[in-house]
Structure formats: C-alpha cells, structure tokens
Amino acid sequence: MIVEILDRRGAVRHRVRLAAFPATIGRGYGNDVILDDRYVDPLHARLEWDGHGGLVLVDQGSVNLLRDPASGQRTRQLPVRSGVEVRLGRTTLRFMDPATALEPALRDGAIREGDGPMAHPLVMAAIILGTGVLLTLNSWLGKTDRTRLSELAGEALIALLMVMVWAGGWALVNRITQQRFRFPEHLTIPCVVLSGYIVANTVEEWLSFLVPEGFAWATLIAGVGLALSVWGLAAHLARVSTLSRAAQWLWSLAVVGALTGVVTLANSGDQPEFAGASSDSQLKPLPARWIPTTTPAEFLTEVDQLKEDVDELNDRMAKRDADAE
C-alpha cells in the first residue's frame, strides 16, 4: 500500500511505501509514516489487517482522532481501500494500491492535466488576439471622427499593455507561491473578462434599443459584468494559491462584492431618488420595419405614469423634509 501525504489543494507532497503490516503513523520518529504536524499524536494510528484480507486504520487513542476529509466526521476505525482519504490532525492522507492503473504519458509540450482547456497555447493566443481585435473594432465603431485604424490599434495596444502589467503582477505572485510564472494564462484571464464586458455591453445596447422600457437591461448586464469579474479573480487565485475551489470563489466574490459596495455607496450618497432617472437611450441601425414600435398614443399612456412618479417623489421629499425639521 502506498500512503500519499497531500497538501491543502490535494496535490501529493510525499509518498511512503508500506510493505509490512501493522504499520504505524504519527509524529514520532519511530513510526513507519512520520507526519510533521503538531495536531498529530506521536503515535496516532495503526494500519493493520482486519482479518478478512482487508486493511483497517485504527486510532491509537489520539487527541484528534481520525477524520473523514469530506464529511469531517471523527472515527476510531476506518476500513482502507485504494483511493480512501483520511485526515490526521491537519494532514490529509490518501491510500493507493500499487497496482492502480494509470493513463499513458502526455506527449512533450501538451497541456498539463488539471490546467483546463484555457491553458492550451493556441487557445490563449486566440483569446488574446481576439481581445485586441474586439477592442479595436469596438473603439472604431464608437468613434465618429476621421480616426485612422492605426491610431485605434494603438489605443487597443495600450489597453493590452495595461492588461499585461496586471497579468505580470499575478505571474510574479504565482512564481513566489508555486514556482511557476504562468504569465500567458494570467494574461488570458483579463482578456476573457474584457471581451466578455464588451460583448455584454453591446448586447445590452441592442436590448435596450429594441425593448426600451421592457426590463432593467443595464442592471442585468451589470450583473453579468460582476460575474465575469468574480470568475476572473477566482481564475487568478486558482493558479497562484492552494485554496480549495470553493474558497477561491468565496474570496473573489467577497473582494468584488466589497469593491462594488464601496463604489455604489460613493456614487449614491444620500440621494436614492436619483437612481433610474437616465434620459439616455440607444439608437441602432436597423431597418424601420424591424424595430418594434408603439403608437404615439401608447407612448403617451406610459408618459402619464411619470406624473404619478414625480408626484409621489414630491410627497416623499416633502415628508422627509418635515421629519427633518
């Protein structure tokens, strides 16, 4: 039986081969498997035959017992098969049968297992290049003066440079924590976020043009933008840290949430009445017959609602002023 000592991310730190049983596990130097963990007893557990041809891990009166890493449940005995994990103190162990079948080796240059499809060099190149093109196109379509395409590409390049600085920061952190830079991956992540923003924004413009009062499109798209930011931060964290997947998402959610909260508070001040008063509206080049429209009379019926809205606003403000005095 092979005992694997795992780190917090689940990667193998160390392997010990056990050939004879019973074998002992603990902090003491006399054990077969020595764990460097202050929460592990000097003699913590013993791996022995259960009398039916199987192995069982038996607690030796330890302070913290044996724990199932998934459920956290404590136990004094645990049947051991290939692939079973157990926690002793703060160390996770995995037992593996030496006969476990493995996949063939990766060809040199192929992506690593666990890196996901985004780590493929071609995918990364396509995303980074695509973002550059998207930035240029977006800025060109938004310009209404005689700008040359080369100037616009320059602007896109500056934007990409700023993204590179961001990615470089993450890569440095990555080098410190994991001994790997992974710069291209850290560059790809903000590119995905940026492209996502541009696409979401364009979709929002078209939706609010086609169905102006149909839905709070801007809010929906702001939600998409926040989700993209959370994903991006979690993706960076996944590469630089050994945090569990849930922890990565929680951390990035907390950071993005806190930033959004601060920005919202700073913008709204004490004037909630100013929310939702935009007089701006999107115009899009669609043939007139494809644009959903109403009659002037129907539009003016909607306008009537505004009177009620400002009257109510007026009452509310008057009441608040009266309360203040």
Partner 1 sequence: MSLVHRALRISGALAVLGVALGSGLPAQAGSPDAALVYRRFAARVVKIQSIEKRSGAKSAIGSGFFVSGAGHVVTNYHVVSELINRPERYRAELVDGGERSRPVEVLAIDVVHDLAVLQAGPAGDPWFTLAPASPDRGTRLYSMGHPHDLGLSIVEGTYNGLLEHTLYPKIHFTGSINPGMSGGPTVNAEGTVVGVNVSTAGEQVSFLVPVDRVIALVDEATRPGYVRPDSLLRTVAQQLLSYQDTYLARLFADSARTVTLGGYQVPTEPAPFFKCWGDASHSRTRPYETIEHQCSTDDYVFISGEQSSGVLTLQHTVLSTRDLNRFRFYSLLTSQFSGDGFAFQGREVVTPRRCTSGNVRQPGLALATVFCTRRYRKLDGLYDVFFKAATLGDPSSGLITTLTLSGVTFENARRVVERFLASLGRAPE
Instruction: Report the interface residues with partner 1, using CB under 8 A.
Output: 140-146, 209-210, 212-213, 271, 273-274, 277-289, 291-296, 298-300, 302-307, 309-311, 313-314, 317-318
Q: What are phi and psi of 260, to 5 degrees?
A: -60, -40
Three-state secondary structure call for residue 273: helix
Three-state secondary structure call for residue 93: strand
The dihedral sign for the CA sequence 151, 155, 160, 165? positive
- DSSP letter string over 143-172? --S---HHHHHHHHHHHHHHHHHHHHHHHH
Tell whether omega for the bond before 22 is within 30 degrees of 0, i.e. cis: yes
Least gap, CB of 286 to partner 1 (angstroms):
7
Distances (CA, A) of 165 to 161, 162, 241: 6, 5, 20
Nearer to partner 1, 50 or 302 (CB): 302
Least gap, CB of 316 to partner 1 (angstroms):
9
Least gap, CB of 239 to partner 1 (angstroms):
37
Half-sphere exposure in the Cβ direction for 130 (13 Å, CA): 17
**Residue recorded with tokens 């413009």:** 205
Nearer to partner 1, 7 or 298 (CB): 298
**Residue recorded with tokens 């109403």:** 294
Least gap, CB of 221 to partner 1 (angstroms):
16
Nearer to partner 1, 19 or 283 (CB): 283
Task: Say which DSSP state 269 is in.
Answer: T
Nearer to partner 1, 19 or 306 (CB): 306
Least gap, CB of 197 to partner 1 (angstroms):
18
Nearer to partner 1, 262 or 317 (CB): 317
Nearer to partner 1, 92 or 138 (CB): 138
- What distance in Å separates the CA atoms of residue 230 and residue 4, rounded to the nearest whole number? 33
Strand pairing report for 33-34 and 23-26: parallel
User: Residue 250, Cβ neighbours under 10 Å: how many?
Assistant: 15
Nearer to partner 1, 17 or 316 (CB): 316
Least gap, CB of 196 to partner 1 (angstroms):
20
Least gap, CB of 232 to partner 1 (angstroms):
28
Q: What are phi and psi of 5, to 5 degrees?
A: -95, 120
